[in-house]
Amino acid sequence: MIPVDGVAGEKVGVLGLGRSGLSAARALREGGAVPILWDDNPAARAAAEAEGFETRDLGAAGAMDDLTLLVTSPGIPHLYPEPNRVIAAAYAACVPVDNDIGLFFRALSSGAWDDLETPPKVVAVTGSNGKSTTSALIHHILSEAGREVQLAGNIGRGVLDIDPPGEAGVIVLELSSYQTELARALTPDIAVFTNLSPDHLDRHAGLGGYFAAKRRLFAEGGPDRAVIGVDEPEGRYLANQLATARSDDRVIRVSVGQKLSGPGWIVQARKGFLTEWRKGKQVGAIDLREIPGLPGAHNHQNACAAYAAARTLGLGPRQIEAALRTFKGLPHRSQIVAERDGVRFVNDSKATNVDAALKALLAFDRIRWVCGGLMKEGGLAALAPGLPHVAKAYVIGREAAQFALGLDGVEAEVCTDMGTAVARAAAEAEPGDVVLLAPAAASFDQYDNFEKRGEDFAAQVAAFLGS
């Protein structure tokens, strides 16, 4: 646990008692604060009280009067579409609002690690797609190199639940826009921006607000190094804002969609080959094409970002390449769950939007595509570049028929449930085919979350292959 310093004897409100909320409450108590907790869910309050925490309706009249700080969970709206009633009460009472990410950076700058010869470093990763895989890749590369490293934030452990870092320790954080938009302290040593595509627009009042939340990771703390995906205008803007000259190697530009040039530090992947360039000269290269845990251009982008971060931490290209070859991928993200008779079964249940699903479709040549679910705004037209890779679609979900109608030029079979879709796709697959779950839709019409959907896919594949 990372104790929160500078709060001894103070009463601090904690709103939302999920993983991050309870973690923050424990770290505050460890630092000598008196946490006062609230969650609208009675079961969550009861669990907190069982740990000895005081609970209080923090939205009630006068509930903020003795608080010096309110710590809120990232999923709770604080501005758009409208503030939660407790956060609105904090604003009215002039009580500062923070989250566990802000508390973490506050704790890390407290001086507790000043006696270490090599202080710990923080690598923070944000973006729309690929941030989980990029974070896990960085963690894997450092682990394989024998470095002390911990993975936390939006993946792995709660950020305040990790062990205090030791000599030359590295903490890799995956940070969502919900986490970066409110944290009062954001001071990573290395910050990574993967890419940007529309998401969470209600929460951020549009794409501009969403990008602004991501940009705070770079603008607020001024990282020593910034690894920036520049295949979208926002990334190019961000890299330009951070660099003071064309040759400024504090900014590492990453691309899989264009050929970069110039005197700066560049890591790019083209036709499956990752190359590193510094001062106009190539200094490293890796063939990514045969690495099974990193299929497709989107994973090559993740590999480039992770490679760049690892290079800034002193690792050599051959060390990084060896680690990339042993990376197995993350569950529900281009995860190979089975292979038989030349047919691969790939679980990409995390592809909950059209942009992520398109990247999955472009990663394979001939696909038996399991897709569908709770459709999102914008329709399916953006999938068009990937549809030539689809031999046939097997559509699930309550809106399966409507979803199938949106797949122009693709043979589509309405299957509705996962078992039927997997059985039909597997029975019709030929050697060289990939049976791919990449839903391009949310899971909530049939599952609690995308993880449950991916687990069902894997279970249905196992059942079919075992029959």
Q: Do 99 and 93 contact (CB within 8 A), yes or no?
A: no
Annotated binding residue 110: no
d(CA 239, CA 241): 5
Position 260, amino acid: L
User: Could you tell me the two tokens for 263?
Assistant: 């005197």
Residue 131 among known ligand-binding residues: yes
CA–CA separation, 281 vs 110, rounded Å?
Answer: 41
The angle at the Cα of 38, spanning 34 to 39, to the nearest 5 degrees, equals 150
Please state, in angstroms and as integers, the Cα–Cα distance from residue 96 to each residue in 69, 184, 373, following that order: 5, 9, 40
Place of tokens 């944000």: 126
d(CA 1, CA 28): 10
The 8-class DSSP code of residue 70 comes to E
Q: Is 176 annotated as a binding residue?
A: no
| Strand, helix or coil for residue 367 | strand
- In angstroms, the CA 256 to CA 273 distance is 10
Structure token digits, residue 417: 């449930």
Token pair listed for 158: 């709660």
Residues 402, 366 contacting (CB under 8 angstroms): no
d(CA 142, CA 146): 6
User: Which residues lie below 8 Å from residue 360, measured CB to CB, with a gap of 6+?
Assistant: 296, 298, 334, 346, 348, 351, 386, 436, 438
Helix, strand, coil percentages (3-state) for the chain, rounded to 5, are 35, 20, 45
314 known member of a binding site: no
User: Strand 412-416 relative to strand 335-340: parallel, antiparallel, unpaired?
Assistant: unpaired
Structure tokens at 131: 């941030």
Q: What angle do CA 48, 174, 69 make, to 5 degrees?
A: 45
The response to whether 134 counts as a known ligand-binding position is no
C-alpha 212/C-alpha 255 separation (Å) is: 21
Number of helical H runs and strand E runs in the chain: 15, 20
128 is in an annotated binding site: yes
β-bridge partners, 336:
346
Q: Check the annotation: does 255 bind a ligand.
A: no
What is each CA distance from 414 to 52, 64, 260, 405, in whole angstroms? 52, 54, 43, 10
> Considering only CA atoms, which of 324, 364, 372 is closest in space to residue 344?
364
The binding site comprises 127-133
Residues at the binding site for ATP are: 127-133
